[in-house]
Structure 1
C-alpha cells in the first residue's frame, strides 16, 4: 500500500463529509455511519501492511483490536435507536436500562366518571392534525408574546413509549402508548392529567430505528360517543368514549390483504366519514378499508397500492367531495360512499411517505416527501361528464419533508426541510429561504399568519409566516428529549408529548 494512501484517503473521505453536511443530504448520517468505520478500517490495514518485516505482528495487533471493538459492542455498549430523524445512532451502556412504567389497569377504578368540567378557553379537537386533518387551526385568540405572557403549565405526567399525539373531546385527552407488552389507548382528564380509563391490547411494536410503541393519534366520533384508535400492528379498536370499554376490533392489515406489514408501524389516524370509519392498509395490498362505526361491519375496500404513513383526509377537490390518500406508490382520490378510485397519480418510491396532502386551491394539492423522492403540486380536473384526471404542475426537490407535513399560507408552503425550516414558492416549487434548526419535528398552521413548530429537541416555537425570512416570535421549553409526536391545540390549551412524558399548557387569553 503506497505511502501517500493515508493522505489520499483522508482528503477523499473529508471531501465527502463536507459535501454531505453542507448540502444537508438526506443520507448524510447513514453515509457517515458507513464511512467512519470504513476509513478507520482502511487506515488500520494500511498501518499493518505498509512496512515489510512487521506485517505479521501488526496484523495480529489489528486482529486483537477488531476483537476488542466487537467485544465492546457485544458486552458493554448497546444500540439505543436513532438519536434523531437523520438516523444518527444513539448509544448507551448495556447496564443502563430504560425506565419501565407500570402497567395500567384495563379500566381505571373510576372509569366512567365524568371528567372535570371543560376548562375555560378549551375546545374540542377530536382528531389528528386539526378538524379537517389538514394541519389548519384557528387564528390565535391568545397572547403570542410568550415572554410577557408565558404559557401556564397545567400538568406534566409520565407516559409510555410511542409517537401518537392527543385528541380532545369533552374534557378528555386521548392518546396511545406502550407499556411493557401491552399497547394502550389512554384517556386523561384535560384539566388535571388524571387517568380516567385505559384500554390494553396484548401487542407490541418494536423497530430498532423508530422505536417502540403505537404511532397513530386516536379519532373521536362524538356522534357515536366512540374512540377509534389504530395500533402500530394494524389493530383497529372502537371504544366507548365515556368508559373505554371495547365495542369491536378489527385486524385492518388482514382485511386489506396486506402481504407485507408496515416496516415502521401503522401511523395513520382513522378518518370518520358519516357512519363509517376509514383506515389505511399495509405497505402492499388494499389501500383503504371502510367499517361501519355502529358494529364494525366491513363496508368497502378500495385501491391496490397499499397504504403509507399518511392519514387519509376528506376534502372537496375539483368540486367533488372525496377521500384523498397518499399511498405506498401513488396518490389517489376515492368516492366516500363506495371507495371507488376517482383519480390516481403514480408516485412510486422505495422509502416511506409520511406527509399529509395539503390543499393549495380548489383543484390543487401539494404532496411532499424526502429520501430523494420529489415533491409534486397536483392539479385535479373534472370533465363535463364528471370524469377526473390528475397531472403534476411542477416537481421539485423542495421541501424534503421526512416525518412532517407542509403548511400552506398564501402563495407559499412552509415546511421542515431535512430538519431545517424553509419557505417554498408554490408558483414555481423553488425554495425561497431555509433557516432555523428545528430538527425532525412537527408543525401546524394557525389561521393565515402563524405556525406552531414542535421541535425535535422538545421545545415549541411560534413562527410568523413571512415569505422573506424566518420570523420566530416565541419559544417554550416544553420537553427535553427527542420528540416526533404532533402537537395538539384545543382552544387555548396546548398538549405536547413524546415517548417519555406529556405536558399540558394553558395559553394566556388576549
Structure 2
C-alpha cells in the first residue's frame, strides 16, 4: 500500500501533452424506465452502457448507484485489500468519477478562496493533475457540514467538467489539464453552499442552481460553454415564501428514459419536474412544497421515486407515475412514505425492492410498487453517502468510516462491516474490480488481492 502526498499548488503532469482528436462520442447516462423483477435477476440496461473503468457521474453510468461489476471486495481495512491510499489536500465532499485510467475529483480551501481540480492515476494513485480552477474573491458562507467542493465532476472521453455552483463551471482537457472554457456568470445565493453536480447529455452540460434568490436549470454547450437553454423554476411556487431557506435545494437532476424518450428529471424546493433535456421544455410537475432536497431521484417499474426534502423529521418519499403531463400532483402520486426517509443519502432500486438509509442509520427495504415496508434495521453511525448496489451486494457508508455490506432480499442479511480511518462524506465509485472510497483526507482504491 502506498500513501501519496498531494502538492496543492502545482499541477503534476504525468505524460507529455499531445494533440487530441476527439470523436463525436457523446455518451448519454441515465436510468431506464423498467427494472427486472427479483425473479428475472438483477441485470439492467442503462441508456448508455459504460466500460468497466467508466464511472462518469457521481452515481455511476446509470445515475442511480447501480453497477454490473463483479468480484468487488467484500472485506477491507487499513491493512487489508488497499491497493493505494492518496492524501487529498484541503477539503471536499465530491465523489470521484472515473474514465479509463483517470480518477477526477475536486477540493477547496476551507475559506472557499481557491477551488481545485485533481486527477489521479487509477493504477498507481499518483497525481496526474492538481491545479486551481477558480479563485472567488468573496465566497458565500456555507453550512458547517458542507464544503466548497461538494459538487462532483462529470467525465467523458478527453474531457472533465467541474462545477462549484455559483463560483464557476469549467471544461478541462483531461489529457493536458488545460482549461478549455470557464463560466462564472451562472449565479445564485446558495445560503449554505453548493451541492448539485452537473449532468451530461448529448452535447450538453446541464447544471442546476437553486438558491434563495433565483432557481433555474441551464444547459451549456460542451465545446464552448455557451448557454443553449435556461429554464427558470415556476416562480409562482417561490414568490413570498418565507423563511428564505425554503426556496433553496441541492438536488442533482438525472436523465431517465421514459417510453423511449429521454427526460431530465429533478426535484428542488417546492416541486419535482420533468423536462425535455434538449430544449428545457417542462413536461410535468408534482408539487410538494418542501426544501433542502439532496437525495437523487431513482426510477423503475414506471415510477419516479422522489424525495421531497424538508427538515429531518418531515422528509417524505413519493412514488410518482411516469406517464403524466402538466401538473400531476393530484393524479399520479401512487404512494407516500414518511418514516425514516433520508435527507442526504440517495436510495437504490434492486429488482422489486427499494432500499434507503436515513441520516441516523435506519436502513429500510420497501416494496417498490406499493411502498410497503419489508424490513428495517438500524446501522451504527450517521449517513450521507448514497447507497451502492453491485456484485449482488448493497454497500452503505457511514460518516464514521464504516461500511456495512448486506445481501439484497426480503430478509436482512449482513455480510460484512469494514472500517477505514476517516469519514465518508462522498459517495463510492466503482472501477473494474475496485471500489474508490473518499474520506475527508484520502482517496482509497480497494480491491481483493
TM-score greater than 0.5 by the shorter chain: yes
- Deviation, 1:301, is 0.7
Q: Which residue of 1 aligns with 2:47?
A: none
Rounded Cα–Cα distance in structure 2 between residues aligned with 1:426 and 1:167: 28
Root mean square deviation of aligned Cα: 2.8
Equivalent pairs counted in the alignment come to 388
1:450 to 384, 393, 403: 393
| Residues 1:405 and 1:428: Cα distance change in structure 2 (over 3 Å) | same
Following TM superposition, the consecutive aligned residue runs of length 4 or more in structure 1 with deviations greater than 4 angstroms are 109-114, 386-390
Native 8 Å contact 1:166 1:174 kept in 2: yes
Equivalences for 1:316-395 in 2 at 5 Å? 316-349=257-290, 351-367=291-307, 369=309, 371=311, 372-382=314-324, 389=328, 391-395=332-336
| Residues 1:353 and 1:387: Cα distance change in structure 2 (over 3 Å) | closer
| Residues 1:366 and 1:467: Cα distance change in structure 2 (over 3 Å) | farther
**SS of corresponding position for 2:323:** strand
**1:306-329, Cα deviation, whole Å (9 max, x unpaired):** 773121111112553210011121
Q: Which residue of 2 aligns with 1:272?
A: 200
Matched, 1:193 2:92: no
Q: Which residue of 1 aligns with 2:164?
A: 231
- Deviation, 1:296, is 1.0
1:240 to 173, 186, 189: 173
Native 8 Å contact 1:368 1:400 kept in 2: no
* Higher Rg: 1
**1:391-414, Cα deviation, whole Å (9 max, x unpaired):** 211122134212101111233221
Native 8 Å contact 1:374 1:397 kept in 2: yes
Rounded Cα–Cα distance in structure 2 between residues aligned with 1:435 and 1:217: 29
Q: Which residue of 2 aligns with 1:152?
A: 82
2:147 to 212, 236, 251: 212
Equivalences for 1:166-181 in 2 at 5 Å? 166-179=96-109, 181=113
Native 8 Å contact 1:162 1:498 kept in 2: no
- Deviation, 1:221, is 2.4
Rounded Cα–Cα distance in structure 2 between residues aligned with 1:481 and 1:447: 23
- Deviation, 1:214, is 0.8
**1:378-397, Cα deviation, whole Å (9 max, x unpaired):** 11225xxx878462111221
- Deviation, 1:343, is 0.2
- Deviation, 1:189, is 1.1
Q: Which residue of 1 aligns with 2:156?
A: 221
**1:105-162, Cα deviation, whole Å (9 max, x unpaired):** 2x32546569xxxxxx961212210102111111533454669x95233233243201
Equivalences for 1:128-147 in 2 at 5 Å? 128-142=58-72, 144=74
1:499 to 440, 445, 449: 440
**1:323-367, Cα deviation, whole Å (9 max, x unpaired):** 001112111000111100000111211x41101101031344343
State the structure with bigger RCO (CA 8 A, min sep 6), 1 or 2: 2
Rounded Cα–Cα distance in structure 2 between residues aligned with 1:448 and 1:196: 30
Structure 2, unaligned runs of 5 or more: 1-5, 19-50, 235-246
**SS of corresponding position for 2:224:** coil
1:282 to 183, 186, 210: 210
Rounded Cα–Cα distance in structure 2 between residues aligned with 1:208 and 1:356: 20
**1:436-459, Cα deviation, whole Å (9 max, x unpaired):** 224123233335832111221112
Q: Which residue of 1 aligns with 2:224?
A: 295
**SS of corresponding position for 1:381:** coil
Structure 1, unaligned runs of 5 or more: 1-100, 115-120
Native 8 Å contact 1:238 1:247 kept in 2: yes
Matched, 1:104 2:44: no
Rounded Cα–Cα distance in structure 2 between residues aligned with 1:143 and 1:487: 13
**SS of corresponding position for 2:186:** helix
After superposing the two structures, state which structure 1 stretch, 458-467 or 361-370, moved more: 361-370
| Residues 1:362 and 1:393: Cα distance change in structure 2 (over 3 Å) | closer
Q: Which residue of 2 aligns with 1:441?
A: 384
Rounded Cα–Cα distance in structure 2 between residues aligned with 1:490 and 1:236: 25
Q: Which residue of 1 aligns with 2:29?
A: none
2:191 to 259, 263, 288: 263
Native 8 Å contact 1:416 1:438 kept in 2: no
Higher helix share: 1
| Residues 1:142 and 1:418: Cα distance change in structure 2 (over 3 Å) | closer
Native 8 Å contact 1:310 1:325 kept in 2: yes
Q: Which residue of 2 aligns with 1:57?
A: none
